[in-house]
Amino acid sequence: MIQLKNLQLPSVLQSPLAGCTDLAFRLTARAYGMKFAFLEMVSSEALVRQNRKTLDLLKSTVEDRPLGAQLVGCDADIMGEAAAIVENLGFDLLDLNLGCPVAKIVSPGGGSKLLVEPEKTEKIFKKVMANIKKIPVTVKMRKGYTDPSGDEAVRIARIAEDAGFSAVTVHGRTRDQGYSGQADWDAIGKVKRAVKIPVIGNGDVTSGAAAQKLMAISGCDGVMIGRGALGNPWIYQAVETTLSGQAEPPPPTLRELKDALLRHIQLEIQFDGERLAVLKARRIACWYFKSIPGANEFRNRVNQTQTAQELLDIVENFGQNSA
């Protein structure tokens, strides 16, 4: 466990993933062992304006706890105002995004661009802390913008520590890398050695063995799972089991994959209605069966579905002859 103020974090966390970690995803993951998650990142400006789509991203349930929110933005005053809103909404933790690599976030100066703007970043951090009364504040960053050394992440981590942040998360890639290449776990260790607050490692955690290796190389205090959880809600238990010194559990059976996917789709329907849920489920369904023979044909059929029942039937009947 990782103690952040009055919050006990598990050592295995779910990263915020834009367009992925919605309420249906989180409730499905919790059913299979996830203990802490973040919402999808939200724009500080949109939150302050009370944008309807942004507020929809913040929806949750009593079962969806503990839960963190993540803000992205580059204006200190607006970030501070948005931080107060997040705390007043009852979230357990606030994270600031200094890792997003996409152009629409980076171009105005947000996300990973702040890694090369230390003075601006310090102002944001101080303004956010001035507006937060109780909950812990953390930052998730990449190891650098273009510099692969990890020095930029070290500099930001020290600024965060001095500002009173409770922890930092480091994704072992630069902004230039996007999601390509391998994550640099040594760079995460460089940050860990530079600060006294907890450091959480992120990048390429796709199994219990990978998490164990990341922690051994970096010395970090916990791991954050990102894309490795898409279609794989068993990963949290697998990582926890491995980190406790036990053998990693076997992969799920086809029946177990189907059951998890059916649960996920039904929750999407419950929260978003049939029309939107079917559109979202076309992508979600492919996460679960991506490594199974027949996945390409399955994808083609799913992409042509128009109704929820048709989608559920396709999932139930997948691989029927070999199940």
Q: Report the catalytic residues.
A: 100
Backbone angles phi, psi at 273, to 5 degrees: 85, 160
Burial (0-12, 13-18, 19+ Cβ within 10 Å), 297: exposed
What's the token pair of residue 100?
């997003």
Q: How far is CA 310 from CA 117, 261, 264, 274, in A?
A: 50, 14, 15, 11
DSSP state string for 160-201: HHHHT-SEEEEEEEETTTTT-S---HHHHHHHHHH-SS-EEE
Q: Is 93 helix (H, G, I), strand (E, B) or coil?
A: strand
Q: Which residues contact 297 (CB under 8 A, 6 or more apart)?
A: none
Q: Distance (Å, rounded) from C-alpha 242 to C-alpha 264?
A: 26
Residues in the chain: 323
Q: Bin 232: left if φ > 0, else alpha if -120 < ψ < 50, else beta.
A: beta
Give the CB-side neighbour count of residue 155, counting CA atoms within 13 A: 17
Instruction: Indicate the burial class of 103 (C-beta count within 10 angstroms; 0-12, 13-18, 19 or more).
Output: exposed
